[in-house]
Structure 1
Amino acid sequence: MDVWFTADTHFDHQLVAGLRGFETPPEHDAFVVERWNATVRPGDQVWHLGDVGMGRLARFSDTLRQLNGQIHLITGNHDEPWPGLRQAHRHQRAWLEHFATVQAFARRRIAGQNVLLSHFPYEGDHVGEDRGSQYRLPDEGLWLLHGHVHSAWRKRGRQLNVGMDVNDLRPLHLDAVTTELAELGSPAETGL
C-alpha cells in the first residue's frame, strides 16, 4: 500500500476547469480521474485535503466512485461537511459513503515527525486576504500539509502545498513529501 496526498480536485467546477485549461468541467474531471488512477492503485491510501468539488455532492458523486484508493477527507471550504458551514452536520453521513473518514484536520507521522494536515495553510491565500482564519490551525512549530492556495506557492515556511495545481494534477506520493520536508530541514530551522 502506498500513501498519497492531494487537495483541490474541484470536480464539477467551471471556473477551476477553465483556469486549468479545460473547456468544460466534465473534460476536466475525466482528465483528473485518468491522472489519479494512473497514479493511485485500488489498495492505496489517499489523504485528500479538501475542496473535492463544487456544490452538492450529488453533482460529482459518480466521479468520486471512479477514483482508486481508500480516501480520507480533510474538509475544505467548498465541501458540504466543512465545519465552517452552518449545515455541515447534515452532510457527514452522505460523504462517508465516498470517504473512509471525514474530518476537519489530522495529524500524521511522516519521516519520524508529527505533521499536520489541513485544507488551509497557517497563513496566506490565493486571493488578497486570508479567508477562514478562524478555521485555520495555529502555527506552533509543526510541518503543515495543505491545499487551498492552488498555485500561489508550493513551499512557504513550515507549509507544503500538496494541491493538484502544483503537482501536475495528480496526487503526491509520501516519499516525495518526505523528500521535500527533508530539503526544508527541521521545522525549527525555517526561522519562523
Structure 2
Amino acid sequence: MTVYFTSDLHFGHPFVAGIRAGHVEPDREDWALSAAHDRRVLDVINAHAGKADELYILGDVSSGSRRSMDIAVENLARLNVPVKRRHLILGNHETRSNGAIFTELYPLFGEIACQGRIYLDDGRQLILSHFQWRHLMDGSVIPEQATNATSLKLAKDAPVWTGNPHETLLHGHTHNRHVFDFDGRPGGYTQIHIGWDAWRRPVALEELAPLFDPKEAERYSDKEHA
C-alpha cells in the first residue's frame, strides 16, 4: 500500500482550469476546458493511486458552487482508491458551501475532518491542513500564488507552528508551483506544499520523506515540478 497526498483538485471550476492551461485571462464559463481539465486530473490520480492504496485530499475539490460540487461528486465517485481509504481535509471552498452540498461528500470518503495528523514510525508527526502555517496567513501578496493565498480572513482555520522539529505540515491552498512556497520565512521548510499546482499528480509519502529534513528541504526549495 502506498499513501498519497494531493489537494486543490477544483473539479468543475473553469477559472482554475483556465489558469492551469496558461490562459492570461481565464474564462469563468469555459466548461469544455473545465471538463478536459477534470478528466486529466481524474486520470492522473487513478494512474497513480489504486485499489490497494490510501489517498488524502487536502481540500478544495470544487469551487463550492452547486454545479461545481455536482461535477466534483461525479468525479470523486470514479476514484480507484476505495472509499474507506479516502480522506478529505476541508478547504475553504468546502467550508463555504451550504449544508445540502457538503453532505454529498460524506458517502465518498472514509474520513472527513478540518485537520488531520499522521504518526510515523520514526516519531515524526505529519499535520494535514488545507492551509499553510497560520503566521504565514498575513495578507501579503506573493507572485505566482492565488489571490487569497495568505488571506487574513482564513487564518483562523490554519494550524499554528510550534517549532517542534518532529512536526511537518502538509498543505495546499496557495496554488504555487513550488513545493516550498514560503522558503526563507520562519517555519517555511517545515511545511510542504502538496497541491496539484506544485506536482500535477498525487505525491507519495515515500517521496516526501526526504524533505522532512529542513536542510534537505532548503536544497530542494528552488525546484518546480509542474
TM-score scaled by length of structure 1: 0.84
Choose between structure 1 and 2: higher strand proportion: 1
Relative contact order higher in (CA < 8 Å, ≥ 6 apart): 1
Choose between structure 1 and 2: higher helix proportion: 2
Structure 2 letter corresponding to 1:35:
V
Equivalent residue for 1:3?
Answer: 3
Residues 154 and 101 (structure 1 numbering): CA distance in 2 closer, same or farther, change over 3 Å?
same
TM-align CA RMSD: 2.3
Alignment partner of 1:36 is 2:48: no
- Residue 91 of structure 1 deviates from its aligned partner by 5.1
Please give the alpha-carbon distance, in whole angstroms, between the structure 2 residues aligned to 1:61 and 1:129. 25
- Residue 58 of structure 1 deviates from its aligned partner by 1.9
Structure 2 letter corresponding to 1:12:
G
Alignment of 1:72-151 (within 5 A): 72-79=87-94, 82=95, 85=96, 87-88=98-99, 93-110=103-120, 111-122=122-133, 123-124=136-137, 126=145, 127=147, 130-131=150-151, 132-141=154-163, 142-151=167-176
Which ranges in structure 1 are unaligned for 5 or more consecutive residues? 187-192
Give a deviation string over 1:85-121, Cα, whole Å, max 9, x none: 4845x55542111111110001112353012100000
Q: Tell me how many residue pairs correspond in the alignment.
A: 180
Identity of aligned residues (%): 29
Residues 45 and 14 (structure 1 numbering): CA distance in 2 closer, same or farther, change over 3 Å?
same
- Residue 43 of structure 1 deviates from its aligned partner by 2.2
Residues 175 and 129 (structure 1 numbering): CA distance in 2 closer, same or farther, change over 3 Å?
closer
Which ranges in structure 2 are unaligned for 5 or more consecutive residues? 23-31, 183-187, 218-226
